[in-house]
Amino acid sequence: MAETVAVVNTTSGHFSDAFAAINNIIAKLALNVVTANNSVDGGLTVGNVFVSGILGTLTLTANNLRGGTVNIAAPLTVVSNVLVNGSFSVVVGSTAKINSTTISAGANVVLNTSALFVGNSTVNSFMNSTYVAVGPNVFTNSTAFNISGTAVVNSTAMNIGNTTLFGLVNSTIIQVSNTITSVVITPSNITIGNSTANFIINSAGISVGSITSLDFGNSTANLIANSTILKVANSTGTSNLSPTSLRIGTSIVGNLSYTVGNTVVNSTIVTVFNGSGQANLQPTQLVIGNTVVNSTIHFVGNATANLSINSTSVAVANGTGSLSLQPSLVTVGGNATLNATSFIVGTGTVYFLANSSLLYVKDNSDYSPSQVTANTISVGNSTVQTYLTSRAFSVLSPGSNIQINSTSLLLGANINLSTIALNIGNSTINSVVNSTMVSVGGTSHNGTTFSVGTTTVNSTVVAVGAAVVNSTVVSVGTVNTASVLIGSGRAIATAQTDTVAVGYKFTPANLGNITSFTINPASGNYQYGTNHSAATWTAPASDCAVTIMVTNDGTAGTITFSGFTVSSSTGDTLTTTNGNKFMIFILRINGVSTYSIKALQ
């Protein structure tokens, strides 16, 4: 520890001052200063010392190690890991000890690398990698839990007890037994008792061994069961069940009869009656008022209005009519009959008949009956008749008829439609239509030529007598359009100049969204479209003048011109701005094409 020694003034001090300072240093070295030397035991210093700072050493030896100050003990704080040499132990108190292989707390708690042991030779718990034991009688491992050998639980069963008193549970049975009785539960039975007295419940019923009587309740409300009677009673009623009868209040069920109020049931009859009627059920019949049902007939009603059912017929009748149903015949009144082969409604004058081959309707008119067979439908008589077969349809009347078959339609004598032609008229005046020609009297058209008398029109010429009009000339006799004026107008010829005195209207051609194309004057001298994307415009193949108006949309692209002869300026600049419009004038003369651009904004 630090000690203070007065400094000797070398100017004014004496040797006695120096000797006094030396003696003071010697005394302090002997009593107050911690010293060290090279001996085995080291330098000895007697007394107390406190270092306010950090004390460093390679090896620290002490009989006791504690925290706090020199005169006040306090908990010791270790601020780094503590490593104990493998050959030494850490001892806490007089019984706790930690070394490289074992942690022990006295003689009764030991933890090592293979097991945990708690207790002593009489009472102890033990745990290792394969099982856990508590005392000498309780242990568990990976397959079972065992208590003193009398309680064992494993993956297939649980056993508690011994051969005399035990409980068993597994996948097929639950059993609890002692020396007197047992309870056994299996998938098919529940058994309580022993071989002498037992109680069994299964899917077939409940069995109570040799018990002679069961009493439940008190004198007012009770249940009594014995070998001769089962009785249930309370303050409002009583039920008695004996081997020969069941009595519930005033109702009795016995081996020969059953009685409930006005209802009596016995081996020969069931009778139910009250103030308004009576029903009797016997082995051979049932009678309810006016209704009788027996083995041969079911009758409901009286002599005027009734329903009768027996093995051969069902009959319904009242004051206005009747119906009879038999195995081979149904009759309604006296005029409707249905059997296995036919259905007839009516009398000999007016009637309807249907059978497997014919449907026949007859009234009292002058016409013959209407008939339907498998191959023919016929309505009418020999004078006026409609006739339909699988191959033809005919309507005949005086002076006219209609006939239809698989190849033709005939209306009267003058209209005939077949699979190849339509003829209307007769040999003198007629019209003919077929796949190659339409002809009406002296007028015909065959797909390429239209003729009316001496007038002929086809794709190349119109001829009216001696007058001819084709793509190059209009000729009337020896005079053609090179020297004739037609009416008050003028005929325009390619070989003649003239003055156009009036104007003409044009319908512009719609090009839609313009893609790359060759300008075609045949589409019109005035055209318009939308610049929707980049495209190349190619010069026309023939001399012409064409004007095209272009409108840009949101995806307009660059227009490239191909095959044109132009100067350094072609007019206004084309843009791709959405909504801008341009007039593009295209001209080709003597094989040379050019263009100019006019912006409209």
Is 80 exceeded by the pLDDT of residue 469? no
Cα–Cα–Cα angle for 517, 543, 576, rounded to 5 degrees? 35
| pLDDT greater at residue 415 or residue 535 | 535
Q: What are the residues facing 465 on neighbouring strands? A: none
Confidence at 345, pLDDT banded by 50, 70, 90: confident
Task: Name the strand (E) or helix (H) holding 418.
Answer: strand 415-418
8 Å CB contact between 527 and 547:
yes
Q: In angstroms, rounded to a whole number, what is the distance separating the alpha carbons of residues 239 and 227?
A: 16
**What three-state secondary structure class fits 30?**
helix
**For residues 273-302, average pLDDT:** 84
Q: What are the residues facing 238 on neighbouring strands? A: 233
Q: Which residues of 47-59 are buried (b: 16+ CB within 10 A; e: fewer)?
A: eeeeeeeeeeeee
pLDDT recorded at residue 549? 98
Burial class (CB in 10 A: 0-12, 13-18, 19+), 580: middle
**For residues 405-411, average pLDDT:** 78
Q: Tokens at residue 159, please?
A: 């056993």
In tens, the pLDDT along 40-74 reads 787 777 778 777 778 888 787 887 888 888 889 99
In tens, the pLDDT along 232-263 reads 889 888 888 888 888 887 788 877 777 877 78
Q: In angstroms, rounded to a whole number, what is the distance separating the alpha carbons of residues 193 and 182?
A: 5
pLDDT recorded at residue 468? 73
The gap from C-alpha 158 to its chain's centroid, in whole angstroms, comes to 47
| pLDDT greater at residue 184 or residue 429 | 184
Share of the chain above pLDDT 70, in %: 89
Q: Which of 325, 345, 348, 324 is nearest to 336 (CA)?
A: 345
The distance in angstroms from the start CA to the end CA of the chain is 105
**For residues 555-564, average pLDDT:** 97
Sign of the dihedral defined by the CA atoms of residues 516, 518, 523, 528, in that order? positive
8 Å CB contact between 113 and 101:
yes
**For residues 452-478, average pLDDT:** 71
Q: Tokens at residue 594, please?
A: 């050019």
Is 60 exceeded by the pLDDT of residue 491? no
Global pTM reads: 0.28
Burial class (CB in 10 A: 0-12, 13-18, 19+), 24: middle
Domain boundaries, the chain: 1-82, 277-409, 410-447, 448-504, 509-599
| pLDDT greater at residue 288 or residue 591 | 591
Residue 588 has a CB neighbour count (10 Å cut-off) of 22
Average pLDDT of the chain is 81
| Locus of tokens 């090279």 | 38
Is 70 exceeded by the pLDDT of residue 378? yes
| Locus of tokens 């030529």 | 449
Residue 481 has a CB neighbour count (10 Å cut-off) of 20
Residue 550 has a CB neighbour count (10 Å cut-off) of 22
What pairing do the DSSP bridges indicate for beta strands 400-405 and 408-411?
antiparallel
